Structure 1
Amino acid sequence: MALKVEVYQKEKVRPSSPTPKTLRSHKLCLLDMMVGNFYHPFVFFYNSGAGPGRHDYDELKESLSKTLSVLYPLAGRIKDRSTIDCNDEGADFVRANVTNTDLAEFLRRHPKLEHLRQLLPLDPYPNAIDPAQPMLAVQVNRFRCGGTAVGFCTWHGVADAGGMTGMLNTLAAINRGEEPTNSGGGLVVDATAIFPPGNFAIFLQSMSNNAAVAPPKRKHYTSKRFVFSKQDIERLRRNQSDHSDMKHHRRPSRVEALSAFLWAAVIRATLLANPSLKAHLLTHVVNLRKKLNPPLPSHCLGNINQVTRAGWKVVAGAGAGQRVTAESLVGRVVEAIDKVTNEYVREMHVEGGYLRAILAHSKEYDNKDETKMLRITSVCKFPFGEVDFGWGKPIRIGMGHKLEDLALFWDTEDGGIEVSVGLEDEVMWNLDKDMEFHAYVSFAQIVSESSCPQRSAL
């Protein structure tokens, strides 16, 4: 059934108090500049309240205005690739009605990507940077039953998942009538001293030259949700601890164990589809806020994270017949993540070292016809489920990301993990036939099918 969403009002929300002139220019660090022109597209669903005025959108708009005074870069506009002009232009605030379904019915059908996108205030993947584009846009959608879906698009260049949870819970606390945690300047930091931009223009040109040698082929992808229970994840951890060839003796975390398990299954499925792929890479996004010394605020704005890489290569002559298991990969995953320490991060960012490392890695795996990468971003333990505007905690959280060889990990209420992953059609078809993989899956659902890829990142 098609979803009918009728937008009836669009307006700008400006900060409740003007940003001081001394704070008008917010410098982006190297990690902010590298993520590209994308938005975080999240939708939070709330049951209807006890009274008709419980979900007060005017009150939420006022709270957003106060939030923009605290998190003032979100009310600004991009000035160049390295600066946000904190000019108080404001955020977009959109109101809409869902006219043909109740919230419970909508969620019972397990909404697909195209339905979630209708609940967002803008396209999360614009083609180019527009100086007029907002850093933040919000859409409140009222269902027939009185339930609400609040869609957020937050520009990735100003906030990663940690920064977005800081914004969301600040907004929620203000709407509940409370003082936000870490109010004032605590959630806005200058990270350029730790992650200096360096000569980013030359880096972009070098990467562009490398890409021009072999332009990527347009491919079709299928995205699915897989849910793994707490018990099955614990079983994976035990198996990997008992039977792996890990150099490290510590037990893998939930995310590490599931990452190795998923990566192994995807490699098996990929080799069946394309045996010529000799090198397989796994990347992880590691939150650096607590790893740095001194640490940064746990939910400050910015992209305070580093990408780690683990690799696996096909043994010559083995081809598709080579057996790959989670037990054989988990040590590589753990080793790559453990390498990210305060000392390692700071050394990597001295005099353009991080950019040089990326270029060197790109050249090492420059044969794209023989290399396949799976990217994993985990938001487990981030407090997205705590976003309570005074309406109760969200009963479901949806994502509007377009997935291309990308997996997103979420906590479930029972301590398990939900995985949303997008793979090429044939690879996903092979994964669906992998009984070793599905022996641990408690729920699976197609999110979107056969769509041309759009780049996405957290």
Structure 2
Amino acid sequence: MASATTRLLQLSREVIKPSTPTPLALKTYKLSRFEQAFNHNYMPLAVFYDKNSILCDGQISPVLYSSQSKTLSLYYPFAGTLEGGGNSVYCNDRGATLVEAEIKCPMNRILNNKDVSAQNVVYPSGIPWSSSFYNDSLLVIQLSHFHCGGKAVSVCLSHKIADGASLCNFIKHWASVARQSGDEKGSDFNGASLFPPTNCQPLVPPGGESKRGTTKSFVFDDSKIKQLKERAIKESGVESPTRIEVVSSLIYRNAIISSTFKPSVIIHVANLHSLTKPRVPRAIGCFNPVFHISTDEEEDISFGKLVKECRTGKENMYKKFNQMKTEESFQAVETSFREACAMTSQGRDDIKHYDFYNCSSLCNNGLAQVDFGWGKPVRASLGASLI
């Protein structure tokens, strides 16, 4: 939410349609079993750019509009509408909504605020993680102009039809079209063939759909992360710990010990695109296997123990998934989700109630290289979360 000293002026709102009509043979896009199991909410991602001397303000909007239209002709389900009880997309070329706004404050005031909700000003009001449709669009974009000359491009895409990796691929493709690089890579809308649709109950996110959490920003420089990795090796015995393993374990541990101890669980969301055989890095869909780590006793919250459990949980998930057929794979994901849901259920006396934490990563998704033609971003971030 914008602060009292941050004024926003909406300049325009338009619907961007695909540059070429979707063929009749592609009018119905069936969702995979994973996508069927998720409810709609908008997954928000924004990239921020310093003032540039390459393009003036009057040139930026036409470039984004034109390139978005061309990109939607390839990502045609994103321009459609849900139908069939949410089990398919009618690819009717309805289009994506693109909002242009002016934000009357310096961009650094937003980026330097530890409360990440301050960044939500670069999205249409109330959109991040919302389950209500905005202008009936599956895809909502905002171009924000800060009065210092900085820019932000935010994208909100329905989590019903795509996951974080898919969203990143879409943004990278759009940027490549905008700068006319000629190296655009196609994407595969083949999730339904990998994981055939069936009748299944939606998976309610752990922690419930209406629980709000405070999202804060912590910045770790390279030297601190290196120190954390060295500490993790000594305390856990884990070889070559990753950034996400050490940082998530540190934040999770400190969150638990910041107040009176309470049993807790952290959910790690993995990237299924690299798990399928053959790998499908450019497949578009919502493929989100998870594993969770529960902390039942105070002696379970040592940094080294948490790093080791994170590595073990990830390796076990990879091993199970690679040994399974698609039906068993989905059941494994479903079981993990429902176990986490049970831990965070409220109003039940037959289970132990856990505090809930969620962890996902934008690392190695190429967002630092997203160049629309005026340079690389200074920051890429998710909108403040509804958890």
Tell me, in whole angstroms, the C-alpha distance in 2 between the residues paired with 1:342 and 1:285.
16
Deviation of the 1:239 alpha carbon? 2.0
User: Residue 102 of structure 2: which of 97, 100, 120 is its match?
Assistant: 97
Equivalent position of 1:39 in the other structure = 42
Q: Compare the two structures and name the one with the higher strand fraction.
A: 1
TM-score by length of 2: 0.85
Query: TM-score scaled by structure 1?
Result: 0.73
- Greater shift, 34-43 or 47-56, is seen at 47-56
SS in 2 for 1:335: helix
**Correspondence 1:98-177 to 2 at 5 A:** 98=103, 100-103=104-107, 106-107=109-110, 110=113, 112-124=115-127, 128=131, 130=133, 133-177=136-180
Q: Give the aligned residue type for 2:269.
A: V
For residue 374 of structure 1, what is the aligned residue in structure 2? 357
Counterpart amino acid of residue 78 in structure 2: L
- The answer to whether structure 1 residue 76 and structure 2 residue 80 are counterparts is yes
Shift of 1:257: 2.0
Contact 2:343 2:351 in 1 (8 A): no
**Residues 1:290 and 2:268 aligned together:** no
Contact 2:292 2:336 in 1 (8 A): no
Displacement of 1:52 in angstroms is 3.1
What are the within-5 Å matches in structure 2 for residues 48-447 of structure 1?
48-50=51-53, 52=56, 55-79=59-83, 80-98=85-103, 100-103=104-107, 106-107=109-110, 110=113, 112-124=115-127, 128=131, 130=133, 133-183=136-186, 187-201=187-201, 221-244=213-236, 250-269=239-258, 272-273=259-260, 275=261, 277=262, 279-296=263-280, 298-314=281-297, 322=299, 324-341=301-318, 344=321, 347=324, 349-350=326-327, 353-354=331-332, 355-356=334-335, 358-359=337-338, 362=341, 369-402=352-385
* Cα 1:124–1:254 shift into 2, 3 Å: same
For 1:331, the aligned partner's letter is: K
The range that moved more, 359-368 or 142-151, is 359-368
Q: In the TM superposition, what whole-angstrom CA distance separates every residue of 1:339-397 from its partner, at most 9, and x where no partner exists? A: 23375256274266233554466557765653233211111111111111101111233
SS in 2 for 1:391: coil
C-alpha distance in structure 1 between counterparts of 2:178 and 2:212, whole Å: 42
2:276 corresponds to which letter in structure 1?
Answer: L
Q: Name the counterpart of 2:31.
A: 28
For structure 1, the residue ranges without an aligned partner over 5 or more in a row are 315-319, 403-453
User: In the alignment, which residue of structure 2 is the partner of 1:317?
Assistant: none
The residue identity in structure 1 corresponding to 2:29 is H
Whether the 8 Å CA contact 1:42–1:400 is kept in 2: the answer is yes
Aligned amino acid, residue 163 of structure 2: D
CA contact (8 A) 1:77 1:132 kept: no
CA deviation after TM superposition for structure 1 residue 11, in Å: 1.2
Q: Distance in 1 between matches of 2:267 and 2:129?
A: 24
CA distance in 2 between counterparts of 1:231 and 1:373 reads 29
Does structure 2 conserve the Cα–Cα contact (< 8 Å) formed by 1:136 and 1:153? yes
> How much does 1:261 deviate?
2.2
Unaligned runs of 5+ in 2: none
Moved more, 110-119 or 7-16: 110-119
Structure 1: distance between partners of 2:253 and 2:15: 47
* Structure 2 counterpart of 1:62, one-letter code: S
For 1:26 and 1:109, locate their aligned partners in 2 and report how far apart those are by CA, in whole Å.
41
The total of aligned residue pairs comes to 376
Offset of 1:92 from its aligned partner? 0.5
- Where 2:231 maps in the other structure, the secondary structure is helix
Matches within 5 A, 1:7-26: 7-26=10-29
Aligned equivalents of 1:220, 1:19: Cα separation in 2: 39
Q: For the residues of structure 2 that align with 1:218 and 1:126, how far apart are their CA atoms?
A: 10
SS at match of 1:227: coil
Once the two structures are overlaid, the 10-residue window that deviates more, 219-228 or 385-394, is: 219-228
- Partner SS state of residue 358, structure 2: strand
**In the superposition, relative to structure 1, how do residues 360 and 387 fare at CA in structure 2: closer, same or farther (>3 Å)?**
closer
Shift of 1:113: 4.4
Distance apart, 1:37 and its partner CA: 2.0
Q: Structure 1 residues 178 and 22 mapped into 2: Cα distance closer, same or farther (>3 Å)? A: same
Offset at 1:338?
A: 0.8
1:218 CA drift (Å): 8.5
Equivalents in 2 of 1:394, 1:137: separation in Å? 20
* Residues 170 and 117 (structure 1), Cα distance of their counterparts in 2 relative to 1, 3 Å cut: same
